[in-house]
Structure 1
Amino acid sequence: MKRILALCAGVAVAVMSPVRAATPVDFAPLSSLIEQTKAATGLPSGTAVVVVKGGKVIHEGYYGLADIGTGTPVTADTVFYIASATKPFFALNALQKQGAGELDMAMSLQQMFPQTRFDGLDAEAITVRDLLTHTAGVDNTALVWATAFSGVHDSASRRALVAGTQRDPDAAHGTFRYTNLGYNLLSIWMDQHNGLPWQDQLQRTLFEPLGMRHTSTRISTAEAAGWPMAAPYSLASAQPTTPLYLRKADDTMQAAGGMVATAPDLARFLIAQLPGEGNIALAREIITRSQQRQVALDSSYLDFARDGYAWGWYTGQYKGHPLLHHFGGFAGFHAHLSFMPDQNIALVVLNNEDVLGAPLTNLIADHVYGLLLHEPGITSSSAARFLALQAKAAQMQANVSRQREAIQSRPWRRSLPRDHFVGRYVHPLLGEMRVEAAGEQALRLRWGRLDAVASAGEQMDQGRVEFVPGWGSWLTFQAGEGQVRSLTFETLTFQRMP
């Protein structure tokens, strides 16, 4: 462990601040705080930090390990999965399509899919704008699980799954409710009507013009190019230094969360967002429009107030200045993109850990923006917050361990012997889920990319499964007359095959 922690030392490069050219910006205290936090938790997962000021990168810091098992450190070349931080890219591409006359933001869901019958849903009222601003008021559990998690889908099944879109009982049309679904639906339409998959659209309209040479919407591209990729870890895992089993593949990279990139590449995208710093290949008027608030909100996430949502960006005030941001979270990863237009400041933070990643990034942002805004006492206040996070992390691990023990100690309640539940279960659009015996009492479930051992549920013939590590879902078997007929995962029912 001493050797591993020694490799956590960050690589930090700071240059003169464009705001106060005579005074260098000292990021060394921040680097020390990040390193201390990783050492205190005993989990040397990786963190990449890039700070932009005045259209230039003024600081890069790389800490911890991209792969703990091999001792591979995080560097400027390390590629991270950025999850929902994909949304600003996809939304900007959509605005570019609109500017070229290839997409109408007022087009309705029914016009997008004229042959589809939407039961119990006014598909004529829902527009592309609604889909991109999370105000469509729709839900489709099957489509989301297929495209983001199981990977069991193709172009035909995706189109068929669109018909399962229904009214969201918890959010009326016009009401903001964050979801991946709108972006998924629009990407399916784009694939049909633009003659080019959405993945290739982003490559041509954004990645190439901005010089993002280590960014892709396909895992296979990154692997073929030999890009060093960060492995996923979690402080909440039973074995935190072992990578999580769930890895992204091409078939689970979807429009609402389907990019891998390096921190410097993402900084290029943020530089293009800043006033007067755009790339000639990206029209300034489209960049400006993408940042205009479309929906009013009154919410927050950690230190970040959110007063609205633009096109793939949350808007709000941070330390007294307008800030646009979007984060991304998935098993083993947390990504942060933010920028302050009136100060020409931007920040990228990437982590290959999913529990400590969010609060750690929150404190990194506090320190970085505090420094560049010349906030009095930022170094000392930041140090106190990092120390509190270290103590909280230790308590968090203890709490998670107790919770895991309580879940795993629940006894199974079955109406039939366990072997009656073993078998193949099929959904007409979502493929096959296999149920196998595991250990003395448990059941193992395999569904496409997903593979997990279920623990006992709270009710008869019920189990709890973490297909996504750290995210438990109920699994209920329907049994009667001496046999198991089907299983329901969340709201999705699979029929048992003979």
Structure 2
Amino acid sequence: MSHEELLPSTRRSLTHRIATAQAEGRAPSLVAAVVRDGELVWTGARTSVAGHAPDENVQYRIGSITKTFTAVLVMRLRDEGLIDLTDPLEKHLPGTGVGEVTIAELLSHTGGLGAETPGEWWERSSASLRPELRDVLGEQPFKHPVGRRHHYSNPGYTLLGSLIEAVRGEPWEVVLRREVLEPLGMRRTSGQPQAPHAGGWAVHPWADVLLPEPAEDLGLMAPAGQLWSTAADLARFAVFLMEGDDRVLGVDSVGEMKRPAAPAEPGEWEMTYGLGVVLAGGKGYTLAGHSGSLPGFIASLWISEKDGLAAVTLANCTSGPPVALVAAELLQIVAEAEPRIPEPWRPLPEVDQAVLELAGPWYWGTSAYVLRLAAEGAVELGPLAGAGRGSRFRPNGDGTWTGLDGYFAGERLEAVRRADGSVSHLDLASFVFTREPYDVAAPVPGGVDPEGWRGLA
């Protein structure tokens, strides 16, 4: 991958965008960063507060971006075989009163739980007001039937934090630091602010004056929004969300987090939720990441995998600049000004002749498909032209493949051979693919009219 610096014109466009956001959003300060192909290639900051010199190493509170970190810890438990995402919460954390909700439903906000805690606004209230889970959930924790719809739930992530503590036998933040922050080199991410850090402010909606916001310890709610971090540290986390890291979570499990697990929500951008990750389609881009807010702070992190880009935007105001939109536009600026240069085409280092024999056109009924070889024995099967069902397949080592994505994810692909070793057809989840449309020599479901193809006068 190329790690060349951004062009001066691109850097100026990025600076102009955050300067406009800070000025129009009336933010005391705003910090941003852009990652390209795994490298931090640009940072910028704007401030109007005397004595405050923000940069990529100054801490800001990141609010609900914390949820993605919590989700990573849950996925680690799953990958270690300590839990299953289909497990009801009660199996590992009894006595909550909402134990029928599954771990996957909590991760994807489809458990039907309320959005907030009962009582005072928890983000501006002392953690001592919520000493136990029942104080977080309240007497009527469910707002919707379990598993029926997406309803964002802060208490749901409190339950996930308590689940982590129950399984690990250690506090959530201790586990987070050992298993995620230290391996990723995120030394400036913490549960409590560490100097230098920004102060949180409220900006009067109708006057250019400020009011300091309290920085409360969230207590049991910490796994939903406690963390402080920096633009540089979140850039490291963004690289992890794109590439995975076997010391923390492999690329397949990180990819699982970025697949839709909740219904899409209508709007200017189509939004849905994976497992601790927001998924958004807008302005021609498909983005994954999370936003966050707590009194005095707003934050956003987006990645665009197809462009190899990530962007982080942090501001120290309760409301103001649209940081999620700004981060997306930083990605757009780079992607349009400096489009990704494709890697050179290279031939496969080796090829299995039995697999090469399968390459080329196949027919499902009269629909034309094509099978292509990929690296390491993988294959791709999809429509010859236009849209349709298609998937990538990984080899199983026995002459069959398993679907990785698309319609055939998890399904088994097999090349069925005749007694003489020649290929009869491809069998895929009851679909029979033949070399000719409705090949009479293949076991086409329902058979083929013996008179064959004909014209019609």
The TM-score, its normalising length taken from structure 1, stands at 0.61
Q: For residues 162 and 64 of structure 1, what CA distance do their matches in structure 2 show?
A: 37
- The letter for the 1-side match of 2:89 is L
Question: Which of 262, 266, 276 is the aligned partner of 1:299?
Answer: 266
- Asked if the contact 1:333/1:354 (under 8 Å) is kept, the reply is yes
Q: Which residue identity is paired with 1:357? A: P
Q: CA deviation at 1:20?
A: 8.1
Aligned to 1:271: 239
Q: What is the aligned partner in structure 2 of residue 151 from structure 1?
A: 126
> Is 1:230 paired with 2:204?
no
Match of 1:381 in 2: none
Letter in 2 for 1:204: R
Tell which deviates more after alignment, 206-215 or 136-145.
136-145
Given that residues 5 and 41 in structure 2 are in contact (C-alpha distance below 8 angstroms), is that contact kept between their aligned partners in structure 1?
A: no
Q: Deviations over 1:228-260 (max 9, x none)?
A: 111112333577543423223363761111110
Secondary structure, in 3 states, of the residue corresponding to 1:347? strand
Give the Cα–Cα distance (whole angstroms) in 2 for the partners of residues 195 and 266 of structure 1: 27
Question: In structure 2, what is the Cα distance between the partners aligned to 1:298 and 1:73?
Answer: 38
What is the 5 A alignment of 1:65-104? 65=48, 68=49, 70-104=50-84
> Following the alignment from structure 1 to structure 2, what is the Cα–Cα distance between the partners of residues 102 and 254?
23
Write 1 or 2 for the structure with the bigger share of helix. 1
Partner Cα separation in structure 2 for residue 270 and residue 253 of structure 1: 24
1:84 to 1:287, Cα distance in 2 relative to 1, 3 A: same
After superposition, residues 85-484 of structure 1 pair within 5 angstroms as 85-115=65-95, 118=97, 123=98, 125-139=100-114, 142=117, 145=120, 148-153=123-128, 157-161=131-135, 164=138, 166=140, 168-169=142-143, 173-219=147-193, 222=194, 227-236=195-204, 240-249=208-217, 251=219, 254-275=222-243, 278=245, 280-300=247-267, 304-306=269-271, 308-358=272-322, 361-363=324-326, 365-374=328-337
Corresponding position of 1:446: none
Larger Rg: 2
Q: 2:65·2:300 contact (CA, 8 Å) conserved in 1?
A: yes
Q: For residues 198-219 of structure 1, what are the alpha-carbon distances to aligned partners after superposition, in whole Å with 9 as ceiling and x for unaligned? A: 1111111110000001001234
Look up the equivalent residue of 1:72 and give its one-letter code. H
Distance 1:112 1:140 in 2: 23
- SS of the equivalent of 2:289 reads strand
Which letter maps to 1:255? P
Mapped partners of 1:35, 1:273: distance in 2: 27
Question: Tell me, what secondary structure is at the counterpart of 1:88?
Answer: helix
Q: Give the equivalent residue in structure 1 for 2:419.
A: none
Gaps of 5+ in 2: 340-457
Indicate conservation of the 8 Å contact 2:35/2:311, yes or no.
Answer: yes
Greater share of strand:
1
2:42 pairs with 1:63: no
Paired AA for residue 101 in structure 2: I
How many corresponding residue pairs? 339
Q: 1:357 to 1:21 in 2, by over 3 A?
A: closer
Opposite residue 249 of structure 1, the aligned amino acid is: D
- Structure 2 partner of 1:35: 19
User: Compared with structure 1, are the counterparts of its residues 34 and 309 closer, same or farther at alpha carbon in structure 2 (3 Å cutoff)?
Assistant: closer
Corresponding position of 2:353: none
**Is the Cα–Cα contact under 8 Å of residues 140 and 166 in structure 1 kept in the other structure?**
no
In the alignment, which residue of structure 1 is the partner of 2:31?
A: 48
State the distance in 2 between where 1:194 and 1:22 align. 43
User: 1:184, 1:256 within 8 Å by CA — same for their partners in 2?
Assistant: yes
Percent sequence identity over aligned pairs: 24
SS of the residue aligned with 2:223?
Answer: coil
Task: Describe the SS at the equivalent of 1:26.
Answer: helix
Q: Is the 8 A contact 1:144 1:180 kept in 2?
A: no
- Alignment partners' CA distance in 2, 1:143 and 1:109: 21
CA contact (8 A) 1:134 1:176 kept: yes
Runs of at least 5 residues in structure 1 that lack an aligned partner in the other structure? 1-16, 377-498
Q: Deviations over 1:436-462 (max 9, x none)?
A: xxxxxxxxxxxxxxxxxxxxxxxxxxx
Deviations 1:407-441 (Å, cap 9, x if unpaired)? Answer: xxxxxxxxxxxxxxxxxxxxxxxxxxxxxxxxxxx
1:126-178 residue CA offsets vs partner (Å, 9 max, x unmatched)? 211111111111238546858644224389x4144367353534565421011
CA distance in 2, matches of 1:323, 1:39: 26
Amino acid at match of 2:39: K
Counterpart Cα distance in 1 of 2:77 and 2:307: 30
Q: 1:252 to 1:332 in 2, by over 3 A?
A: farther
Question: Normalising by structure 2, what TM-score?
Answer: 0.66
Cα distance, 1:373 vs. partner?
2.9
The residue matched to 1:255 in structure 2 has which SS?
helix
What is the RMSD of the two structures over their aligned residues, measured on CA atoms?
Answer: 3.2
What letter is aligned with 1:332? G
CA contact (8 A) 1:231 1:243 kept: no
Partner Cα distance (1:249, 1:355) in 2: 20
Given that 1:233 and 1:243 are in contact with CA atoms closer than 8 Å, whether structure 2 keeps it comes out as: yes
